[in-house]
């Protein structure tokens, strides 16, 4: 059980940032991952009063506050329409509705968990994170940075996505995924992620132009083969490395064909 000595309900992000510089303090979002630890910490910093629980749509981006829950992502009509249902698909298998009513986007991306469906999705879509101290950082860079004591304010999803599809494999519904995949056409170029390898999601850009003439059987097979041969997979009690490797090609194909069909996942 997690125990803490102080509870800070902050009124400004600056206050949250200052408190978070003390090693003993930790930001508490949905408190679903944090509470798994069995230790006593100094204080928890609650961001609930900062208005970070909104999904805002501007002309050129979606700005998703760090305290937006996975359920809000799942139920957002604007995101569903823009992403062909991919955002909904990425979170709907995570534990259950009550859980998704608490788990946040900020907690999910800050943690950069290997199993993360949320990271798999946003990384493929070319998202950025807005950090209070550092400013805006490409998620593709953030994913490899060490966990630090900055405050994640929001996820910015530039409106450059022209198609996307989310796919995953789970041994049983609501379990952690065995493998995750999101393919997207961003700013005219195809890119995709493979996550739960079981390591953190990795991004594959179509740098050699395998899909430059569009999605057809040959180009899909070639890109799926590229992903399958380059992805680094591992084994755990959910699946073996070789199975994951093979399925990375399968999910890539499925996702690309779903984009071609243009329908919901």
Ligand X SMILES: Cc1cc2nc3c(=O)[nH]c(=O)nc-3n(C[C@H](O)[C@H](O)[C@H](O)COP(=O)(O)OP(=O)(O)OC[C@H]3O[C@@H](n4cnc5c(N)ncnc54)[C@H](O)[C@@H]3O)c2cc1C
Q: Cis bond leading into 198, ω under 30°? A: yes
Is beta strand 152-158 parallel, antiparallel or unpaired with respect to 161-169? unpaired
Measured distance CA(251)–CA(244) in Å, rounded: 10
27 binds ligand X (CB under 6 A): yes
- Cβ closer to ligand X: 122 or 204? 122
**Nearest distance in Å: CB 90, ligand X:** 8
Helix axes 241-261, 217-230, angle to 10 degrees: 150
**Nearest distance in Å: CB 28, ligand X:** 5
108 binds ligand X (CB under 6 A): yes
Measured distance CA(183)–CA(215) in Å, rounded: 12
In angstroms, the first-to-last Cα distance of the chain is 38
30 binds ligand X (CB under 6 A): yes
152 binds ligand X (CB under 6 A): yes
65 binds ligand X (CB under 6 A): no
Residue 2: helix, strand or coil by DSSP? strand
- Contact by Cβ (8 Å): 20, 27: yes
Considering only the stretches 21-29, 200-208, 223-231, 257-265, report the one whose residues sit in contact with ligand X under the rule CB under 6 A: 21-29
**Nearest distance in Å: CB 34, ligand X:** 4
- Contact by Cβ (8 Å): 51, 65: yes
Tell me the two tokens of residue 88.
């909904």
Considering only the stretches 112-120, 134-142, 225-233, 243-251, report the one whose residues sit in contact with ligand X under the rule CB under 6 A: 112-120
Considering only the stretches 6-14, 116-124, 184-192, 231-239, report the one whose residues sit in contact with ligand X under the rule CB under 6 A: 116-124
**Which residues have C-beta within 8 Å of that of residue 236, sequence separation ≥ 6?**
198
**Contact code string over 175-204 relative to ligand X, x by CB under 6 A:** -xx---------------------------
Choosing from 10, 28, 79, 247, the residue that interacts with ligand X (CB under 6 A) is 28
Judged by phi (left if over 0) then psi (alpha if -120 to 50, else beta), residue 134 lies in alpha
Choosing from 84, 116, 248, 265, the residue that interacts with ligand X (CB under 6 A) is 116
| Whole-number Cα distances in Å, 68 to 75, 79, 87, 198, 244 | 11, 13, 13, 26, 31
Residues 75-104 that bind ligand X (CB under 6 A): 94-95, 103-104
Question: What number of residues does the chain have?
Answer: 265
**Nearest distance in Å: CB 175, ligand X:** 7
114 binds ligand X (CB under 6 A): no
Residues that bind ligand X (CB under 6 A): 26-34, 36, 47, 66, 70, 94-95, 103-104, 106-108, 110-111, 115-118, 151-152, 176-177
């Amino acid at each position: 059980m997690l125990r803490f000595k102080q509870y800070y309900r902050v009124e400004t992000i600056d206050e949250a940032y200052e408190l978070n510089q003390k090693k003993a303090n930790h930001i508490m979002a949905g408190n679903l991952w944090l509470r798994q630890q069995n230790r006593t910490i100094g204080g928890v910093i609650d961001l609930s009063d900062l208005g970070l629980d909104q999904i805002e749509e501007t002309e050129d981006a979606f700005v998703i506050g760090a305290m937006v829950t996975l359920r809000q992502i799942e139920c957002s009509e604007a995101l569903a329409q823009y992403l062909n249902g991919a955002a909904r698909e990425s979170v709907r298998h995570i534990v259950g509705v009550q859980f998704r009513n608490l788990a946040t986007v900020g907690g999910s991306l800050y943690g950069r968990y290997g199993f993360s469906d949320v990271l798999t999705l946003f990384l493929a879509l070319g998202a950025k994170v807005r950090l209070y101290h550092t400013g805006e950082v490409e998620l593709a860079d953030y994913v490899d940075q060490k966990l630090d004591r900055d405050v994640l304010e929001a996820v910015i999803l530039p409106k450059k996505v022209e198609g996307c599809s989310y796919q995953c494999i789970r041994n049983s519904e609501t379990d952690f995924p065995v493998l995750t995949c999101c393919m997207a056409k961003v700013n005219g170029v195809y890119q995709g992620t493979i996550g739960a390898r079981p390591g953190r999601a990795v991004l594959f850009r179509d740098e050699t132009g395998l899909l430059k003439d569009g999605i057809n059987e040959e180009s899909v097979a070639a890109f799926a083969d590229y992903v399958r041969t380059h992805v680094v997979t591992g084994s755990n009690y959910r699946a073996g490395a070789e199975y994951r490797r093979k399925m990375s090609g399968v999910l890539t194909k499925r996702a690309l064909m779903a984009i071609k069909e243009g329908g919901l996942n």
